[in-house]
Chains A and B, each alone.
Chain A
Amino acid sequence: MAAKREALSDKIAIDMTPMIDVVFQLITFFMLTLKTVITEGDFDIRMPLGTSAGAPADDPLPPVRVKMTAGAGGERTSLTMNGQGVGDFDELRRRVIDLVGTGPGSNADRTEVELDCDPNLKYENVIRAVTAVSGMVQPDGTVVELIKKIKFAPPKKR
């Protein structure tokens, strides 16, 4: 009787080696398939074919013309909105907010922005301008949407 009790209380040694092998193989697999994806987002642009395509909005307001000129190296030399000079993209955003307003009663849905850029302008300026006119990030992280309809002016001859 005493011998049986002793046998029962004996610890059974489990061989961990195969499990650890498999687990390390799994870790290796997952580490090698790890792929860091950078967060990216899209801006819609309206580029209808010709003038007939693209349904005009009900009662559209005159388009906001944002013009950017570039120097020889592609850097931005001037920024204008409807012909008036604008210092930077933050000021452009303020001007757009003054023009269309925010919240209910905003004219943002009926307004269109036309980007007129020099051909050798660096493209990052276009995205900055699109960002400035299409929305505003508030300090609490929420986004106030402004003008969504954005198009390019017909390209100039180079």
Chain B
Amino acid sequence: MARKQSDGPSKTDIDMTPMIDMTFQLITFFVFTLNFSTAVQDDRVQLPMSQLAKPAEGPSIEPITLQLMDDGNVIYSGEPVPLQDIGGHLENEKRVMISASKEPSSATVIVRADGRSKTGDVQELIKICQEKGFEKFVLRAQYDESK
């Protein structure tokens, strides 16, 4: 009985080592998964899947990302814009490029179109870009790892 009493008030030493180990492992994990990429991705667009959609080695030259939603609107600078009004925004892009003494034809237009959108809308978007002098286009798809 006397022994138990003397145990009670003594300070319990908690060994912090395992917790600190684990915490540092967590930090390491989060540091490695930290990603500074400025890739434009938007939940409003569900890209079609493709097994061959491997990421490009380098970043695109002068990229302009246009995201086509399934309702036919284009997300430009985070805001939905009707397809027929995108020409004005592209005109601004073109002016900015020319003022920086770059040719619009050197820009790469990245088309992130929703898998459920209409092919006609995608073609219309490409046609509007062509009318503004943009020539290089890439179609973006999500990498399908299922097979």
Contact = CB atoms under 8 A, between A and B. Distances in A.
Verify that A and B bind, or say they do not.
Answer: yes
Interface of A: 16, 19-20, 23-24, 26-27, 30-31, 33-35, 37-45, 47-49, 53, 70, 74, 117-128, 130-131, 134-135, 137, 143, 152, 155-156, 158
Contacts of B31: 30
Given A33-B34, A53-B135, A131-B50, A122 B116 contact: yes
Dominant secondary structure of chain B at its interface with chain A? mixed
A153 to B, nearest CB: 9
Contacts of B117: 122-123
Given A41-B53, A41-B141, A42-B53, A30 B34 contact: yes
A135 B52 contact: yes
A40 B50 CA distance: 9
Contact of B23 (A27, A33, A74, A126): A27
B123 A41 contact: no
Interface residues of B, number: 54
B147 interface: yes
Contacts of A34: 30, 33-34
A16 B140 CA distance: 50
A40 B118 contact: no
Contacts of B115: 122-124, 127
B27 interface: yes
A125 B39 contact: no
A123 to B, nearest CB: 5
Interface of B: 16, 19-20, 23-24, 26-27, 30-31, 33-35, 37, 39, 41, 47-56, 60, 68, 110, 113-124, 126-127, 130, 135-143, 145, 147
A126 B110 CA distance: 16
Contacts of A37: 35, 37, 39, 41
B113 A31 contact: no
Contact of B126 (A70, A152, A158): A152
B30 A30 contact: yes
